[in-house]
Chain A
Amino acid sequence: MIKLVKKIALILVSLNIFIFSQFSYAELSIEITEGVQGAHKIAVVPFANPKGEKLQVEIAQIIASNLARSGYFKALENSQMLAQPTQPAQVKFRNWEALGQDYLVIGVVTKDNNLYHVQMSLFDVYKKSQLKGLRVTVEASSLRMAAHHLSDAIYEKLTGIPGVFTTRIAYVTSELTAQNKRKYNLNIADYDGGNAISIAQSKEPIMSPAWSPKADKIAYVSFENKVSEIFVQALATGKRKSIAKYKGINGAPAWSPDGKRLALTLSKDGNSDIYILTLANKSLKKLTKSWAIDTEAAWSPDGKKILFTSDRGRRPQLYVMDSHGKGVAERITFDGDYNARGSFSANGKSVVMVQGAQGNFRIAVLDLESRTTTVLSNGKQDESPSFAPNGKVIIYARRKGKNDILATVTLDGVTKHDIQHTEGMVREPAWAPRH
């Protein structure tokens, strides 16, 4: 953890990089839509602000919603708290025991020139002991990120699983301008929708964002030239390359785990097939050769297999084949009449997909060992599921009224949260790998 603090301090202080914190659009906020069962109870007391300053970022509130969203915790409302200690010496464990709390988090924010020190203490209420203390130093504009780092530390300490609160997501928005024209944006944001920024805008559709394994590039489909075309854009520089502009469909890019190849869907030879593009020499290898639609390729974490959607059996189902094209593709989905857009969890043990049954399209997870499928969402038109790097949460898009919004669901299907967007349609979330 000292290493972490040093790392943040180094990045933010020594290099003297300053960060924008407020953007005029793409405001997202989280709303809890379904409750929690058997979760640990945790009280996150509002942190003390620096003298004479009211911070715009509510550190404790961000930590509490992060933990609640993970499905492992239920956070206590501030109004229920009997006291709001900010220093360890002020903590009276019996207050928290009386409220049935398992854990307690308190903290203080102090200011030192332009730097903010955010200090946190985590207590086990029943053992009456401190489990962890941590201090993070950031610029004002990175206070949200400081709250996410503290959330990761608390989550990992209490569950033994690395948190994903400092990871990012990419997604596409579509909105109507004042002139009644559509505007499409490719955006990246913190995992909870905070700090959202647009990295590409167009009047024509943008689709299928895919993170490179190092999370430094995004491949996506753009119709800006009135045809489908796949671009790879470096996040740091904005430099981008057109990597596929063949006749017909150029779609569904997916990075190989080593980042050297991309699986694509092309229809240049007549109908949609999966191809593997090697970036270094631009060589293209056709992987599927069926008369049917083959699309939506995803790599297994070891890079040996390709998962894809095919309607070779008349209805779309998921198939797995060798990534070098050897052997035959094996069908892996048999529940529901429509299974598509599959992707592997980071440990390769499960696949998340869109499952259509009785006219509803929902997010489902297939356990590859037991071959059992669990439906996680309950909408009519849920789509584009993407695993968190720790495999415990899935982000997806769903219809709410006339809008598409992003939502998360835990792997057990119990905890569901919506990420509210102020306007327009929000879709195709892609969770960045940890980098």
Chain B
Amino acid sequence: MKIKTIIMAFLLAISVVACSPDNVKEDSLGTAELLGSENGVESNVYNADGTRVTAIDLQNSSLTEADDLMQSAEFSDPNSPLSTRIIYFEYDSSQVRNEFISILEAHANYLMANPSQRVTLDGHSDERGTREYNIALGEQRAKSVFKMMRLIGVMANQIDIVSYGEEKPASLELNDDSFALNRRVEVVYK
């Protein structure tokens, strides 16, 4: 299985301000410092109380492309259990529902047959409650899936876990249907 990983580094030029020349002047101190961090570009701006503030643009590296794999028949055929890569959860629960067990087994079997293949389990919550608590909840959900895959026999080093809590909702509506769509673990092949 050959997975092509494309690393893309985005260094977007900062368009900090659309200032008219009248209200922008150079800093007479002229202390242009180089950014020490390995990440980002800098651009000096100044806050209203005279405090100097520097803006940086964060790099978003390691965008993985598993598109080739995802377009193959076993992943794209709606009749294949591998075409389902989202597992949904009940409110405030991290227990894998019965209806998703066969799907998890299919992914686990695929990973066991392809030991060089890796996945990330992205844990998510709905937006009720506080953000950091929801990060912990999303991780518990991803860990439930992880444990089940491990029991079936997948190697631990094939699986990574990231919890995004409520930061990446699948649906933005504030209703029960939307909440149900957001309480999920996504199996992301890379």
Contact = CB atoms under 8 A, between A and B. Distances in A.
Contacts of B157: none
Contacts of A23: 16-19
A248 B45 contact: no
B54 A199 contact: yes
B1 interface: no
Given A202-B58, A223-B167, A399-B174, A18 B139 contact: no
A224 B58 contact: yes
A202 B173 CA distance: 24
B167 to A, nearest CB: 4
Contact of A402 (B48, B131, B172): B172
A152 B135 CA distance: 39
A359 to B, nearest CB: 8
Given A249-B139, A265-B136, A19 B50 contact: yes
B29 A354 contact: no
Given A197-B55, A200-B55, A340 B61 contact: no
Contact of A228 (B59, B128, B135): B135
A251 interface: yes
A407 interface: no
A18 B35 contact: no
Given A188-B53, A295-B132, A224 B39 contact: yes
B185 to A, nearest CB: 15
Contact of A166 (B49, B52, B161): B49
A234 B40 CA distance: 13
Contacts of A226: 61-62, 120, 162
Nearest to A56: B23
B22 to A, nearest CB: 8
Contacts of A265: 132, 135-136
Contact of A381 (B57, B61, B174): B174
Contacts of A241: 37
Given A248-B161, A272-B136, A356-B128, A22 B56 contact: no
Interface stretch (A78-86, A141-149, A277-285): A141-149
Given A224-B39, A228-B135, A238-B56, A197 B128 contact: no
Contacts of A224: 39, 58-61
A238 B140 contact: no
A398 to B, nearest CB: 11
A16 B28 CA distance: 6
Given A239-B36, A340-B129, A18 B25 contact: yes
A235 B52 CA distance: 7
Nearest to B53: A235
B6 to A, nearest CB: 14
Interface in A129-144: 140-142, 144
B79 interface: no
Contacts, number: 221
Interface in B7-56: 10, 12, 14-20, 23-29, 33, 35-37, 39-40, 42, 44-56
A401 B2 CA distance: 46
Interface string B153-182: 000000001111001100011100000000
Contact of B45 (A20, A222, A361, A399): A20
Contacts of A15: 28-29
- Residue in B28, B29, B39 whose Cβ sees the most chain A Cβ within 10 Å: B39
Interface string A387-413: 000000000000100100000000000
A21 B18 CA distance: 10
Contacts of A142: 48-50
Interface in A199-236: 199-208, 222-228, 233-236
Interface in B129-143: 129-133, 135-137, 139-140
A17 interface: yes
Contacts of B120: 226
Contacts of A208: 131-132
A236 B129 contact: no
A236 B17 contact: no
A226 B63 CA distance: 9
Interface of A: 8, 11-12, 15-24, 140-142, 144-145, 166, 168, 182, 188, 190, 194-195, 197-208, 222-228, 233-241, 248-249, 251-252, 265, 267, 271-272, 293, 295-296, 309, 311, 316, 338, 340-341, 354, 356, 359, 361, 380-381, 383-384, 399, 402, 427-428
The list of the 3 closest CB pairs from A to B, nearest first, reads A238-B54, A205-B167, A24-B18
30 contacts: A22-B17, A22-B20, A22-B23, A24-B15, A24-B17, A144-B48, A168-B49, A190-B48, A194-B48, A199-B54, A199-B56, A200-B56, A201-B14, A202-B58, A202-B60, A203-B60, A225-B61, A228-B163, A236-B53, A241-B37, A249-B136, A251-B135, A252-B132, A272-B139, A295-B135, A295-B136, A338-B129, A340-B130, A341-B133, A356-B129
